[in-house]
Amino acid sequence: MALLPAFSVFRSAKLTVFVIFPISFAILPYFCAMMVIADSVKNILFDFGGVIINLNIGASIAAFSALRGPNAPISFEQWSEYSLEPAFERGELSPAEFCGRMRVLLNNPVSDQQIHAAWNAMILDIPPHRIKALEALKNHYRIFLLSNTSEIHYQFYTRRFVQQYGYKGWEALFERAWFSHHIGLRKPDPAIFNYILEEKELHAEETLFIDDSKANTDAAASLGFQVLHLASGIDWA
């Protein structure tokens, strides 16, 4: 049965329904996604960045921009055109290789430590209410994690998670956690979804996939997954 933000439980016999409603506090309003999950769902597959952990990609863009030399070839709004991030997230580059290529793009001989700090600037907090929601959901569903990520980010946020919540690792909370740089595949490539279905012998039609990227949820939906695309500003927990 589906866990809602107030930890109430509802269920729909035929449909997966998502109702978005505002909740106002004294300072700021925010939105939660109230989930009513179809009876057919047995597994829930979560994205990580923007779903479990909060991100501010602009913070890394600003940090790298501050490191640019006077003749840097690109702005960091354009850097994905150089395919550096996808390659790093597929594990095709080591952290040292990533830093070396970043120095070329920056046109500045900055240290690995400075590059790590700029790359990690986007990583924010993992809110306690999301961990509590996951802990409750795992009593009713098999829960999994699937993240596009890199070794530098992985080490940074895993250390924080262990320190803050006392878990020994991600698979102490999730039945299985897949990180793109460990398996050489990256969303929205359909191969990554087929990989996890095969490894855990899951059925796509019994699996709800939650991600903040429409490209990713569209790819999963094309394979038969039930999906929830979290638009900006929506919290599922």
Arithmetic mean of pLDDT, 155-179? 97
Give the model's confidence band at 2: pLDDT under 50 very low, under 70 low, under 90 confident, else very high: very low
Q: Using the predicted structure, report yes or no on whether residue 153 has a pLDDT greater than 50.
A: yes
* Residue written as token pair 């919290």: 235
Question: Lowest-pLDDT range, 12-26, 31-45, 66-80?
Answer: 12-26
Predicted local distance difference test score (pLDDT) of residue 76: 62
10 Å Cβ neighbour count for 1? Answer: 14
In a domain, 224, yes or no: yes
Please report, for the chain, how many H helices and E strands are present, in that order. Answer: 9, 10
Which pTM was predicted? 0.84
CATH of the domain at 146: 3.40.50.1000
Query: What domain range is 116 assigned to?
Result: 57-120
CATH of the domain at 77: 1.10.150.240
Task: Give the Cα separation of 70 and 82 in Å (integer).
Answer: 19
Q: Using the predicted structure, report yes or no on whether residue 109 has a pLDDT greater than 60.
A: yes
Helices 95-106 and 151-165: crossing angle in degrees, nearest 10, is: 120
Predicted local distance difference test score (pLDDT) of residue 122: 96
Q: Using the predicted structure, report yes or no on whether residue 12 has a pLDDT greater than 70.
A: no
Comparing 71 with 156, the larger pLDDT belongs to 156
